[in-house]
Structure 1
């Protein structure tokens, strides 16, 4: 993957971060169409005659809903209901499913799932040969259709073919994730660059934050219940399916209202980006929770997603020596059934 990124003029400064020399990239994304290599994300494939049956017993999604159109969020849990990885699931072809998650969790999830896959006709493959490109901005859909000859899907849906897939993600601007073979990424990048400006993947991460969408990484696995990252409010948990690992704990937390922490969106009063895991503290220096992810917005201020206690805090809040202001999430904290999203087919709750 690194070779094609170098050819674009990008610099991969870390395994999960790439930058370009484009000035004010976050501001540019509000006004124009931009694109970025999504090096912080990775892919795990599940294939075989019993791939669907195998996944059904392991994931929070109703796997049959991943039908080549709907591409639901999902998660994999421990028996105690803690999230090992949260992901997006889509079907590439019959007997071929694909999982998108933070790249640092792909190897550990593959190792975990292989213990169960041995009892099924199902195989797991870490897809280092695939590239992920993010296309973001008002003209993203039109650009993808013209340059890639693929009709863009609705949010949390997919389009394309076995070689290249488009996934639409929510955010303050239209967003498309392109998954394709790495040896074809350079050509796709060149075609898109006629009307899209390259930016670093921090811009995509900022829009994840503004969408209230947290991708856990290796530092956070086996830590939170799915509801603590608002996964049921995003349609990432099916409460209508049968058993899967951790299902009893997840269901009990939902039906008994026993979620003591929640994902929140917030802004700091400066440009210092706290490290993931940094404490969120109240006016009495009591730790309420911790930061999951951070990014600078178009005005140079730090925005964060954090998991904190659901109790009313003693204001003001602080993080890394900066005041922290809670912001409104773009969705209500209530159950959103993926079955509703799949049937409606437009990525928003039915009314």
Structure 2
């Protein structure tokens, strides 16, 4: 398991809070996992889709007191909230973007020790949740041990005081670990383009195929049982020798003989300066891209119309159908 150390402000995330007496049944008809069987002590990855099975959002869902928290990329939160509210008028639910909690990412033994002061009952079980008056901490222990935290103003300041830190680092450090874990998200440029299986959601326990109906369920089920999915998400890595903007929605190319052909679409990317490069000019880039699911692990890949070569890196989980 990779080791990293940071405390990051995840300002690219929003939390949609769903409360009300019919919240369980309502969300069960909207998301790819069952909220009726939901364990209050754990979180899950899930998808929110349109009626064609294409994703509005990749979500981390958890419970806190009498509400569900749905954290997702801020681009998705705007649309997902609108869609949930659209159908929520027929149920006793309240759906709002939560402005009271701060999304913070924590990694590294020393920082986790500080977090444990804030949450004495902190669990190290994958996808477990710990709640108290400071907020909620969700554990990820897949490719790396890290915690996604939703902290109140008091909890955020308390964590800074405990750690004797001046400030939190930007979200790129957290996003690098998420990419290494093979967890894709949905941003504005990739909205309503992919069914969940194209983002490997069947392989990270983010789809319950035995649950009842939900928005897009027929397409998601058909994709599995008829073997119609021909694309999957791959982890790619490379080195940048100069500044280059890499964004969700950008294309990548595969080398076929002497020519290059469109090979896929980037869904999540981040670059960081290489620690061994004192000049600061060289950066490691890691990204997740949706590509044909029969892509050769030794394929030659590049960013479209660039000299940046990328290599396919093994995912930390097995791709299932």
**TM tier, smaller:** 0.7 to 0.9
Taking the aligned partners of 1:32 and 1:308, their CA distance within structure 2 comes to 29
Alignment of 1:94-133 (within 5 A): 94=66, 96-133=67-104
1:326 partnered with 2:297:
no
CA, structure 1 residues 243+324, in 2 after alignment: closer, same or farther (shift >3 Å)?
Answer: same
Alignment TM-score, normalising by the size of structure 1: 0.80
Q: Secondary structure at the match of 1:266?
A: strand
1:340 is matched with which residue? none
CA, structure 1 residues 317+127, in 2 after alignment: closer, same or farther (shift >3 Å)?
Answer: same
Alignment of 1:5-24 (within 5 A): none
Taking the aligned partners of 1:218 and 1:170, their CA distance within structure 2 comes to 28
What is the Cα deviation at residue 146 of structure 1?
Answer: 2.4
Structure 1 residue ranges, 4+ long, deviating more than 6 angstroms after superposition:
none
Alignment of 1:231-250 (within 5 A): 231-250=201-220
2:108 is matched with which residue? 137
What is the Cα deviation at residue 163 of structure 1?
Answer: 4.7
Alignment of 1:21-32 (within 5 A): none
1:72 is matched with which residue? 44
1:164 is matched with which residue? 135
Contact 2:249 2:265 in 1 (8 A): yes
CA, structure 1 residues 244+162, in 2 after alignment: closer, same or farther (shift >3 Å)?
Answer: farther
2:280 is matched with which residue? none
2:194 is matched with which residue? 224
CA, structure 1 residues 256+73, in 2 after alignment: closer, same or farther (shift >3 Å)?
Answer: same
1:213 partnered with 2:179:
no
Count of residues paired in the alignment: 304
Cα RMSD after superposing both structures: 2.2
What is the Cα deviation at residue 153 of structure 1?
Answer: 4.4
1:22 is matched with which residue? none
Identify the range of structure 1 (278-287 vs 236-245) with the bigger mean alpha-carbon deviation.
278-287
Q: Deviations over 1:92-120 (max 9, x none)?
A: 123x1110101121121111111211111
Taking the aligned partners of 1:31 and 1:112, their CA distance within structure 2 comes to 38
Alignment of 1:45-60 (within 5 A): 45-60=17-32
Taking the aligned partners of 1:189 and 1:98, their CA distance within structure 2 comes to 24
Alignment TM-score, normalising by the size of structure 2: 0.88
Q: Deviations over 1:190-249 (max 9, x none)?
A: 22346x984321010100111001121122111100000011101100011111011111
Q: 2:238 is matched with which residue: 234, 251, 268?
A: 268
1:279 partnered with 2:247:
no
Identify the range of structure 1 (84-93 vs 65-74) with the bigger mean alpha-carbon deviation.
65-74
Q: 2:160 is matched with which residue: 180, 189, 194?
A: 189
Taking the aligned partners of 1:158 and 1:276, their CA distance within structure 2 comes to 29
What is the Cα deviation at residue 32 of structure 1?
Answer: 6.0
Taking the aligned partners of 1:44 and 1:32, their CA distance within structure 2 comes to 28
Q: Secondary structure at the match of 1:146?
A: helix
Contact 1:171 1:208 in 2 (8 A): no
Contact 1:148 1:188 in 2 (8 A): no
Q: Secondary structure at the match of 2:240?
A: coil
Q: Secondary structure at the match of 2:57?
A: strand
Q: Deviations over 1:18-37 (max 9, x none)?
A: xxxxxxxxxxxx76632011
